[in-house]
Each structure stands twice: as C-alpha cells, then as structure tokens.
A = this chain, B = another copy of it.
Amino acid sequence: MILNKDTKILIVGLGVIGGGYAKALSKKGYKVKCITRKQSDIDYALEHDMVIGGSPFPDPDLISEADLIVVALYPQAFIDWVKEYQKHMKPGAILNDVTGVKGGIVNEVQSFLRRDVEFIASHPMAGRERSGIEYSDDMVFKGANFIVTPTEKNTKEAIEFCKSLGEELGFAKISELSPEDHDSMIAFLSQLTHVIAVTLMTSNTKEGLEKYTGDSFRDLTRIAKINDRMWSELFLCNKEALLSQMDAFAKEFELFRNMLSEGDEEGMREKMRLSTSRRGLFDKPAQN
C-alpha cells in the first residue's frame, strides 16, 4: 500500500498528538475520520476542518473502511483497544501507534494481531505540556523527529508507508531504530529529563522562590508540568532502561558534588568543557 490522498485514515483518540495528526493530514488534503470519546472533541475537530467525520463509539463501519488506523491512546489503552476491535479491521489495513515506549508494546501487539493486518510502530517525538485537542498543533512536528521502530515481522512496504506518513505530517527527520535502542534512547533523552524536572520542582518547597526565578530554572522545569497518568505509565513500561539512565545520572552528579566539596576547580572545569562541547551537537538546526 502507498500513502496517497485516497488512503482512508482513521485516528483513534483526538488528544494533543492525535489532534495534531488530524490537523496536519487534513491540511494536506487527506480524508481523516476519528473515533474519540467526547462528542465535543469531534465537534471541535469538524469545526476546525481536522476531520470529515467521526464517532464517540468504536463504530465498526469506521474501523472497517480504514486503510490506515493510527491509535493515539496511552500504552495500555492502545493494547486493549486493538485486542477488542481488531475483528472489525479491513484485511490489508495498516495499524500504527504514537506511544513513547516501544519494547513491550510492539512485541505484544504483533503477537496477538490478526495476520492480515500489519502493525508498524512509530514515535512522533513532539508533544506539549498540556493535554487535550484544544492544545493540539501540527506545527510542533516541524523540526521534530519521527522514529519508526520496526521488528523482523514488518514488511519493507509497511516501513516505507510509515516513513511517508512521518513526512506528510511534516516531521523534519525520519529515522529507524529497533524498539530496544529506541527505549534506551528515550529513557535518557526524554524520561530522565522529566524525572529531573519533577525532582527539581519538589526538592525545595520553600515559599516565595518564584519571585526570583530566572530563565534557567524555568527552562529546566518547563516539563515539570506533567500529565501524571501518562508519564507514570510510560516510566513503568520502560522501567529497566530508565532506572539504568537514572543511576548513571546519579553517579555523575555525585562525582561533581565531590569535586565541589573538595575544591577541585580543574575537575569541574573539565566537566563543563566536555558539557559545552557535547551540547553543541544538540543545537537545533536552523528551520526554514
């Protein structure tokens, strides 16, 4: 199957990511429908030309006509949804997700999924601090990474299909990682940073500090406003990889603490120079 304007797309769950997908794809001229719990979200999506139709129930007609089903739910809810409704899917349909951890999920879904439907997993590395369709915005995909995480069960066709989906959504960079490499990378780049932001926000609860805050503290804690249900689930889904990154961070933090305590100025400066040069690699490329 090739992604084109006749591809019938169904998005399940119009949250901040599902809503962004709907907006980006509809803008490009794709026919997008949705299944999402609240009728008011469907109304919002219709008014904003994000979908051409939708249902607050898992309508078998909507499921069975779709060539591509993108399920934008939390990890466990995604697994449960597929178990329950795969029976309605069209033979040859492609199933895709947006979950932020892959290891457990991809293998599990591929193990119970019908043989005539293919699940190709991907992680759009873009989000917002707020949840809900009214915060969805396809512009967050610009400059962001879209990572496809195939297994040996996936076909080349589905992998290519999924990559072209990432391109159509407007992501700057499309790449491929194994589910395991993806999870280790995400434990460091995304989950550890959220743990740090939360810890920073809760480790000193003295009153009135906000009066003196500058941009550094604001930057480090922007993501401390966090969806507790989603992130605790993501952390637990990726527990071993995250624990390993947390332990490496704690060890390095203690090393720096001891340098400070011992007045080892040159040791600290060396860490800072390494940090400065490594951070250069992570600069955002200039956007058009």
Contacts and interface: CB of A to CB of B under 8 A. Distances in A.
Nearest to A270: B228
A46 interface: no
A175 B211 CA distance: 9
Interface string A144-181: 11010000000000000000000000000101010000
A76 to B, nearest CB: 12
B232 A272 contact: yes
A228 B193 contact: no
Contact of A269 (B173, B192, B228, B252): B228
A199 interface: yes
A133 interface: no
B144 A275 contact: no
Interface string A260-271: 110101001111
Q: Chain A binding site: helix, strand, loop or mixed by DSSP?
A: helix
Given A126-B214, A272-B228, A201 B243 contact: no
Interface in A221-274: 221-229, 231-233, 235-236, 239, 242-243, 245-254, 256-257, 260-261, 263, 265, 268-274
Chain A, interface residues (CB within 8 Å), range: 35 or more
A112 interface: no
A275 B212 contact: no
A202 B2 CA distance: 43
Contacts of A278: 201-202, 205, 224
A223 B221 CA distance: 13
Interface stretch (A52-60, A85-93, A183-191): A183-191
A148 to B, nearest CB: 12
Interface of A: 125-127, 144-145, 147, 173, 175, 177, 185-186, 188-190, 192-206, 209-229, 231-233, 235-236, 239, 242-243, 245-254, 256-257, 260-261, 263, 265, 268-276, 278-282, 284
Closest 5 CB pairs of A and B: A228-B272, A203-B252, A201-B275, A228-B269, A198-B275
